[in-house]
Structure 1
Amino acid sequence: MSSNWFKRVKEGITTSTKEKKETPEGLWHKCDKCKTVYTLQEIQKLYWVCDRCSHHGRIGSEEYFQILFDDGKYKELDAKLTSGDPLDFEDTKKYTDRVKATIKSTGLYDAIRTAAGKLDGHDFVIACMDFDFIGGSLGSVMGEKIARAIDHAIKINAPFMIISKSGGARMMEAGFSLMQMAKVSGKLGQLSEAKLPYISLLTHPTTGGVTASFAMLGDLNIAEPEALIGFAGPRVVKETIGRDLPDGFQTSEFVLEHGFLDYIVHRGELRDKVALSLKLFRS
């Protein structure tokens, strides 16, 4: 019997192992909750929401602008406003170096973008946070951009919306960060005096000083499903009070049940629900 029967003398119809390539990055998306795999095109059409388990994947400002503004068209406000280093903060990596590196890696200039456009044919202004930029942290630039966006909303007589996803105040700016809580809250008071509605959308996660201030000051406070919403994280709360926490603690469903939200909205219905809410305000 020929030993060649048990040996491959020619390449088969499949590519040899050494020539196989890994699947290119960026073509596939795996649901963080149920691990269902989608092509990039499929998950984009679903607004980055898993149609098996309804898990809402984290998206950035550009995706929200495309969802909310008519035809995805908008004008960005104060696009290149960047943070300084008022406290000369030095850690393992100098703050200014980290900011520059984050700008280069993300293409963003800070943790929030502001834009004006149309929603359902009416002027609308949105400030949306990007978690990829130092955890969506609240610093002097974020406060200033929100304040200027509110001024613009008042100028053009438009409703205003903040989409929050943040780990809280940016520690590298210390007191300057904390001052933004009062600054933005004061500006929202001016928006109210102008009789213009403010809608606050809380997404995963919304924590720290953002939750403790303007994220909870909306004429309408709404949230995406299963978003983490709270001041301190569940672990810190549990260690502080020394008690086990109830199931689903600090999820948007828990916060809604306890009266801090007006409604929870699926991302696929976000545009229509916001448009309907604004119609009710106008009427």
Structure 2
Amino acid sequence: MNWISDWALPKIQTLFGTKRDVPENLWIKCPHCGEMIFHQDLERNLHVCPKCGHHMRISAQRRLDYTFDPGWQRIELPRAPADPLRFRDSRRYGDRLREAQQKNGMDDAIAVAHGTIEGRPAVAAAFEFSFMGGSMGAGVGEGIVTAARLAVLQDAPLIVFTASGGARMQEGAVSLMQMPRTVIATRMVKEAGLPFIVVLCDPTTGGVTASFAMLGDIQIAEPGALIGFAGARVIEQTVREKLPEGFQRAEYLLEHGILDMVVKRPEMRATLARLIGFLRPPAPAPEAEAVAPSPAPTPAPAPAAE
């Protein structure tokens, strides 16, 4: 019997109180520069490293929180068929899907909401990269279509934040069909005369880049975001040439005319509000109908003198 652990330690804990639980993840290491950042400082800086400016990946929920004014509402998306091909590799696709749903609290890799951005109405869709790499299956395609229909219904601009590895291979041709489907959805927004703004976040690759993500009226990216279709190594092996430094990064694409602007995350909300103001100016107030002045009364004739 160990009298220290069995008798003395409980007595001491009774006298001085039990050991307080220390919360985990109080300090977060920047993956780019290695700086240790206090979690509250990182939250205040919208998950951007205060030392090197690296934009860390954030959840769809945080993305919408950082974009909308308080009071925004998330909408429920139609359920897409789960595991339409009954796909299985090392594990069943259905098991992978349920695990991702439980981990992220989402039905699929996209969230759609509506609200205001500095007082201007808008509809936004945000990808969740931690949900199977933000891959685009039938559920994500349904989310983009729903967001487009909501934007048309509310006569509001549509903003999509992309963060995806591309098409979801476990859904095969069903996933590939979401590419033309999402393109048609964005066309519906444009035909209604509404702005379609795309914010490309790290990373945006594959079938998402090859479809709706490059069709925005305004193309924005966060600093350092990886944007492309195929991987750099695949391209080098195909063209047999060494790619330039920073190839497929946001700054390189801006320099070569593929993007309209690169915007830091703390400035994103104000930038989106300003763009919406340019593209959707407020309707002029109806002018009051001009009222014709009533004719002056005719003076009565003076009585004749007798």
Common topology (TM > 0.5): yes
Counterpart residue number, 2:14: none
Structure 1 counterpart of 2:178, which letter?
Q
State whether structure 2 residue 196 is matched by structure 1 residue 235. Answer: no
1:41-52 alignment to 2 at 5 Å? 41-52=40-51
Counterpart residue number, 2:34: 35
Moved more, 108-117 or 126-135: 108-117
In structure 2, the CA distance between the partners of 1:83 and 1:131, relative to structure 1 (3 Å rule), is farther
State whether structure 2 residue 69 is matched by structure 1 residue 67. Answer: no
Secondary structure, counterpart of 2:176 in structure 1? helix
Counterpart residue number, 1:145: 143
Report the count of equivalent residues: 263
**Rg larger in structure:** 2
Q: 1:88 Cα deviation (Å)? A: 1.1
Counterpart residue number, 2:279: 281
Moved more, 162-171 or 76-85: 76-85
- Report if aligned partners of 1:208, 1:231 keep a CA contact under 8 Å in 2: yes
State whether structure 2 residue 229 is matched by structure 1 residue 213. Answer: no
Structure 2 counterpart of 1:106, which letter?
N
Counterpart residue number, 1:184: 182
- Report if aligned partners of 2:120, 2:276 keep a CA contact under 8 Å in 1: no
1:1-283 alignment to 2 at 5 Å? 24-71=23-70, 73-79=71-77, 81=79, 83-283=81-281
State the TM-score, normalizing by the size of structure 1: 0.89
Q: 1:122 Cα deviation (Å)? A: 2.2
- Report if aligned partners of 2:80, 2:138 keep a CA contact under 8 Å in 1: no
Q: How far apart are the structure 1 equivalents of 2:78 and 2:132? A: 16
In structure 2, the CA distance between the partners of 1:231 and 1:23, relative to structure 1 (3 Å rule), is farther
Q: How far apart are the structure 2 equivalents of 1:121 and 1:127? A: 18
- Report if aligned partners of 2:200, 2:221 keep a CA contact under 8 Å in 1: yes
Q: How far apart are the structure 1 equivalents of 2:156 and 2:21? A: 49
Counterpart residue number, 2:3: none
Structure 2 counterpart of 1:120, which letter?
E
- Post-superposition CA distance 1:192-235 (Å, at most 9, x none): 11000000000110000100111110000000001100001111
Q: 1:25 Cα deviation (Å)? A: 2.6
Q: How far apart are the structure 1 equivalents of 2:239 and 2:269? A: 39
Q: How far apart are the structure 1 equivalents of 2:57 and 2:237? A: 28
Q: 1:107 Cα deviation (Å)? A: 1.7
Q: How far apart are the structure 1 equivalents of 2:241 and 2:23? A: 46
- Post-superposition CA distance 1:133-174 (Å, at most 9, x none): 000000000001110111011001010011001000000001
Structure 2: which 5+ runs fail to align?
1-18, 282-306
Runs of 4+ in 1 over 4 A off after TM superposition: 20-24
Counterpart residue number, 2:290: none
Secondary structure, counterpart of 2:31 in structure 1? coil
State the TM-score, normalizing by the size of structure 2: 0.83
Counterpart residue number, 2:5: none
Q: How far apart are the structure 1 equivalents of 2:274 and 2:161? A: 18
Q: 1:80 Cα deviation (Å)? A: 7.3
Structure 2 counterpart of 1:94, which letter?
R
Q: Alignment RMSD, CA only?
A: 1.6
Secondary structure, counterpart of 2:203 in structure 1? strand
Secondary structure, counterpart of 2:177 in structure 1? helix
- Report if aligned partners of 1:83, 1:110 keep a CA contact under 8 Å in 2: no
In structure 2, the CA distance between the partners of 1:82 and 1:30, relative to structure 1 (3 Å rule), is farther
Structure 2 counterpart of 1:244, which letter?
K
